[in-house]
Amino acid sequence: MRKPIIAGNWKMNMTPSECAKLIGELRPLVGHAACDVVVCPPFTGLAAAKAALAGSTIRLGAQNVHWAEKGAYTGEVSAAMLKELGVEFAIVGHSERRQYFGETDEGVNKRARAALAADITPIVCVGESLDQREAGETEARVGAQAKAAFKDMSAQEAVRVVVAYEPVWAIGTGRTATSEQAEETIAFIRAIVRELYGEAVAQAIRIQYGGSMNPKNAAELMAMPDIDGGLIGGASLKAADFLQVVHYSAEGTK
């Protein structure tokens, strides 16, 4: 049985004081959520967020993690650094990281494995561009990304990963994949996991939808059998909107 997971990716928004304020607004209304709830502030807000989350059921995530334990990697942050701040999740391979900062499938795999080694759950993002979808290349692109992300991972490691399917064409554009489109691709990702690790891992791994899930479409998307949550961007920056997504229904595990 898979417990849904809703994670807010705050991207390059929120100063430390703003992080604490938003968490203060979320805390009283999240305690009875039927899903795991994660917030992912920018690196500068992690310490303030951790303090604001004390005693809360909301869990702390980071927006990236480097694969090396330490070294000459200016501007990067290691898994050990995140772990000491109380981070439990780390987004890896977000489309914006791939698009703007040149992150590769190989690097995504290395970052994910570094997170796992530090007992941090990686939220591994995969997805296709509009051109790739219109050319009928969705499965080829998403399948290649997924297989690369799981390279050299054992089944015991793979089952701890959260996958986020984020169609690049539906991020920040106001466009959203239909629930059927999202379900179809996420079911395909689950089939890839089944091919790599077998039925038990495929049924246990959680796969989110990360393409503009919001209060209006969350319930419909979450009703799909293979969609286990959402990686939420813009709607996670306003407490009222994020809470509507978190409380998409009264359902528990799938």
Active site residue 94: yes
CA distance 123 to 152: 17
Sort strands 89-92 and 5-9 into parallel, antiparallel or unpaired.
Answer: unpaired
**Residue 71: exposure state from Cβ atoms within 10 A (0-12, 13-18, ≥19):** exposed
C-alpha distances out from residue 249 to 14, 63, 72, 223, 246, Å = 28, 27, 47, 9, 8
Look up 66 and say whether it is catalytic: no
Give residue 212's identity as a one-letter amino acid code: S
Vertex 154 angle, CA 151 and 160, to 5°: 95
Spot the catalytic one: 96, 103, 166, 183. Answer: 166
Considering 94, 96, 183, 247, which one is annotated as catalytic?
94
CA angle 27, 30, 36 (to 5 degrees): 120
In sequence order, the β-bridge partners of residue 36 are 5
Q: Are 38 and 49 in contact (CB under 8 A)?
A: no
Nearest to 65 by CA among 44, 50, 87: 87
Active site positions, annotated: 94, 166
